Amino acid sequence: MKHRIVVLGAGYAGAFAAGNLARRLSPADTEITVVNAEPDFVERMRLHQLAIGQELAFRKLADVFAGTGVRLRLARVTGVDPERRTVAVTGEDGDGELGYDTLLYTLGSSVAHHGVPGVAEYAFDVTGRSSALRLRERLAGLGGGGTVLVVGEGLTGIETATEFAESRPDLSVALAARGELGAWLSPKARRHLRQAFDRLGITVHEHTGIEAVEPTRAIAADGTSLPADVTVWSAGFAVHPIAAAGGLEVAETGQIVVDRTMRSLSHPDVYAAGDCAYAIGENGRPLPMSCASAGFTNMQATAAIIARLTGSKVPTTGLKYHGNHISLGRRDAIFQMVDRDVRSKSWYLGGRTAARFKSGVLKGAGWGIVHPTFGMPKRKRRLATAPDRSGVRVAA
């Protein structure tokens, strides 16, 4: 019997990992299944562009995995039972259950409401395609002079506010920041960011925490009312409680606690990558939820899975950030270099050159995922021992 590898989620982490596993492991020994609710690969980092009305091409996952041997199951994950090594799913074919020998959990994250009243009912977000399309429809019906308030001064908030202001100069765009806009950037990069906001006419409300969202306004902690025909909530991410409910060891954030190889501390047949992994970086701090973390962790997880199944030494891949890429519309951007402690260095790249660099990063990430068999080895690696469903590890 073949060793069953199930990958939950086909975002940046899951799609790349599945393709890499198929590229390097022999199909004679392994059976790889990807479970994803959407039929397409969705570039999450471009969803603010989709929301403002730009046309984006989505690649069918069936086409992505065609010829790789990867099985695609279009379904939503409803539960995980690591004791029985099963995953519960529901989809067009109804409810079902998948068994696994190795599980790679990459279900990502969604918007974090933080318990703020009105966010779930009235706010929009760009953390998923369906929510971005809902926002797109609302913005398309918003006439000139309409007000848009983006809540959150992180990368998502900055990119959303600048993209909206550039694409729809007829709208009044504002951003509410709990602290200082771009506080983590170097002084020159921070100045560049503020100049971009001034050029695009974006109003910034600093040191303004939002305590409630209503249909046409947001209420700040000090009682100030901020007009908003549309409120876009980008104040952080949260993971689904499926992992915790299934009995996997999780952190306070709900992320799966993993070792240096992305292996669950409580269940060694489970690996996690991307936003749902509570992984410690080379600086001793938890990796933030980001596309960069998805890249680091999925490469480490796939390398560890392949090594353990084939009886090889488990390698360690780098878990070190080099910088932040921030789009400021289509023609401007910031690339901020950081040190080992993720503190901004004095050097940064800005303007059109940085925008072209960011565009190249996005295209490269997308290309790598939709070409999962690029560089296919002539001879794939075989498992170290015959697959075993009895609970014994295939390889030490």
Query: What pLDDT is attached to residue 372?
Result: 66
Cβ contacts of 115 within 8 Å, gap of 6 or more: none
Calculate ∠ Cα 263-20-22, nearest 5°. Answer: 105
Q: What is the mean pLDDT of the chain?
A: 92
Residue 271 makes CB contacts below 8 A (sequence gap 6+) with 102, 103, 104, 105, 258, 261, 262, 263, 264, 301, 304, 305
Domain with CATH 3.50.50.60 in the chain: 3-109+239-321+361-370, 113-233
Exposed, middle or buried by CB within 10 Å (0-12, 13-18, 19+), for 265?
A: middle
What is the CATH topology of the domain spanning 3-109+239-321+361-370? FAD/NAD(P)-binding domain (3.50.50)
When pLDDT is averaged across residues 238-264 and rounded to a whole number, the result is: 97
Number of Cβ atoms within 10 Å of the Cβ of 34: 28
For the stretch 109-159, pLDDT in tens is: 999 999 999 999 999 999 999 999 999 999 999 999 999 999 999 999 999
Residue with the larger pLDDT of the pair 282 and 28? 28
How confident is the model over 170-185, as a mean pLDDT?
Answer: 96
pLDDT in tens, 327-357: 999 999 999 988 877 788 888 999 999 999 8
Decide if domain 113-233 falls under CATH 3.30.56.10: no
Q: Tell whether the model's pLDDT for residue 371 goes beyond 80.
A: no
Assess whether pLDDT exceeds 90 at residue 99. yes
Model pLDDT for residues 278-326, shown as the tens digit of each residue: 999 888 889 988 888 888 899 999 999 999 999 999 999 888 777 789 9
- Which segment of 93-102, 188-197, 284-293 scores lowest on mean pLDDT? 284-293
pTM (2 decimals)? 0.91
In tens, the pLDDT along 222-239 reads 999 999 999 999 999 999
pLDDT value for 343 = 82
- The fraction of the chain above a pLDDT of 90, given in percent, is 78
